[in-house]
Amino acid sequence: MKISTKGRYSLRMLLDLAQHKDDGYVSLKDISNRQQISKKYLEQIVPLLSKSGLLRANRGYQGGYMLAKPADQYTVGEILRLTEGSLAPVACLEFEENTCPRIEECITLPVWKGLNEVIQNYLDGITLTDILDNFYGASGDDYCI
């Protein structure tokens, strides 16, 4: 599994909005400048995040974006699944039902299932708030692998 630019930039954008939640609606230009991400790239990410209910938008003068819910209600897993699709380490685990014809005799399937569980639990256990707390030193938990 490799996280794409879209996934990484979406996470950075949402973290930026969490950091600036007291500023009201934040412009893409401000996020772009702080995160050193092209505004055009952010414009491509915004519709996906907005349609999924992660962002609130305000058009016009002093318009911009803000988180639709508190930062502690966003998990890294949720964000990455939205932007990346499946986070499964192998194709046969991408969907709820494993339709692989070798499922009954696959000797490695338990390895991939275990890895998938670790990945899902790890990413679903980290919120935007956790990342910010860790960055600013407010949390004693260490979620590094």
pLDDT, position 95: 87
* CA-based nearest residue to 30, from 69, 72, 66: 66
**Rounded Cα–Cα distance for residues 53 and 68 (Å):** 7
User: Which of the two residues, 59 and 119, has the higher pLDDT score?
Assistant: 119
Q: What is the pLDDT of residues 88-100, one digit of tens each?
A: 999 999 988 888 8
Q: Mean per-residue pLDDT for 39-43? A: 96
104 class by beta-carbon count within 10 Å (0-12 exposed, 13-18 middle, 19+ buried): exposed
Confidence of residue 63 (pLDDT cuts 50, 70, 90): confident
CATH of domain 1-145: 1.10.10.10
- Please identify which residue in the block is written with the tokens 């002093």: 62
pLDDT, position 138: 64
